[in-house]
Amino acid sequence: MVWIAGQTASDKNNTVIGTTLDEQVDVAADNVKKALEAVGASVDNLVHVQYFIAQYDPDTDFPAVLKAGRSLASSRGGSPAAELIGVQSLGLREYRIEISGVAVLP
Comparison of pLDDT for 21 and 76, the residue scoring more:
21
- Condensed to tens digits (0 to 9), the pLDDT of residues 38-75 reads 999 999 999 999 999 999 999 999 999 998 888 899 88
- Give the model's pLDDT for residue 54: 97
Among residues of the chain, what percentage have pLDDT more than 90? 85
pLDDT band at 105 (very low <50, low <70, confident <90, very high): very high
Cβ atoms of 82 and 69 closer than 8 Å = yes
CB atoms within 10 A of CB 12: 7
Average of per-residue pLDDT across 75-85: 90
pTM: 0.93
How far from the centroid of its chain's Cα atoms is residue 76's Cα?
Answer: 19
What are the sequence ranges of the domains in the chain?
Answer: 2-103
Third-level CATH fold of 2-103: 60s Ribosomal Protein L30; Chain: A; (3.30.1330)
